[in-house]
Amino acid sequence: MFTLSDFQREIERQLVHNRDKSLFYELTGGTLVLTPAAETIELLRVKAREISLFMQAAKTNGQLMQVMESAASQTIQLFWEVNQYLQFSRRHYAGLQEIYGHLFARLSRLGEQTVIGDEEIEPIFAAHYKRLQAFLIYSNGSQIFRTYRDHPDLPNITCAEYTPEFQLAVLNLDLSAIASPVLDIGCGAQASLIRYIQAHGIPTVGIDRNVTPAGDLHRSGWFEYTFEPNTWGTVISHMAFSNHFTHHHLKADGEHERYARAYMDILRSLTVGGRFVYAPRLPFMEEVLPSSPGLPFRTETYTYSTHIVRTA
């Protein structure tokens, strides 16, 4: 009997099978380099009817929706592992779930056939990969993916969280003088700086799209998070918000205006005397901020970081 765990295992098998391959590299004739795993093809040949019956029941009892949500979430995580600058909204998550729903529906219909070969299975996955490609272009534009068309294998990206001591040094922050409460934007999955600051008795909250939610840790992006006015004594972002803002500032089809609005929302969330502390610096914002009328902020620049101080 085919079960929910069997289905989830096959999804994970497929994600692992293609995780190092480029979704944008095309072979002769426009065929993508991604393929279904040999084990998945064999399973569909042998158990297509059983899988179809499972999916019909899962659609009725709500399990299929759970699988669609899980598949979309795992896929987004893989996309972020390849390129941290990709952005996905709740609407994009819903669209990706629909793409998986379409794939599952086509796989379910295989159970109606008496003979199943590669010629029935492979086009289903090929169409799915094309939809994923179109989804990425729709959600993030085409420019960011242009280099991924040149090679079938994805580049090896190293991304690690820095030690709390190093982050504080780069940010030019002294814990003995830091104003609370503290918000760390893009705190990282391990939230190491937050734990370090909390160990010094300072109330600290963190947000990150990859963190496990727990009390003072919230799984959220900076566009989804609500920056309430007059709330934070210090807002920190090390190699996160300003890195992404710079990327979109330089990108031909970037969302620089959206980042500028978020930047101002962060400043308004400071209490009087509070600081928005970030690295790397954002000179294209810092140069115009003092000349903007009606904005009570002072800019302090350091070797690697900037402090924007609310003065009134």
pLDDT of residue 161: 79
**Average pLDDT taken over every residue of the chain:** 93
pLDDT of residue 294: 72
pLDDT tens-digit map of 8-17 = 999 999 999 9
| pLDDT score of 158 more than 70 | no
Question: What percent of the chain has a predicted confidence (pLDDT) above 90?
Answer: 86
| pLDDT score of 289 more than 90 | no
pLDDT tens-digit map of 227-272 = 999 999 999 999 999 999 999 999 888 899 999 999 999 999 999 9
H-helix segments, the chain: 4-18, 38-61, 63-82, 90-109, 118-140, 164-171, 192-199, 241-250, 256-268, 283-286
CB atoms near residue 84 (< 10 Å)? 17
- Residue whose tokens read 């104003």: 179
pLDDT tens-digit map of 163-208 = 999 999 999 999 999 999 999 999 999 999 999 999 999 999 999 9
Phi, psi of 153 (to 5 degrees): -105, 145
Instruction: Please check whether residue 158 lies inside any domain of the structure.
Output: no
Name the residue range of residue 124's domain. Answer: 4-149
Where does a domain end: 88, 116, 149?
149
Do 95 and 14 share a structural domain? yes
Number of separate domains in the chain: 2
Instruction: Please check whether residue 155 lies inside any domain of the structure.
Output: no
pLDDT tens-digit map of 51-83 = 999 999 999 999 999 999 999 999 999 999 899
Where does a domain end: 115, 149, 183?
149
Rounded to the nearest 10 degrees, what angle do helices 118-140 and 38-61 cross at?
Answer: 70
Query: What CATH number corresponds to the domain at position 286?
Result: 3.40.50.150
Do 188 and 107 share a structural domain? no
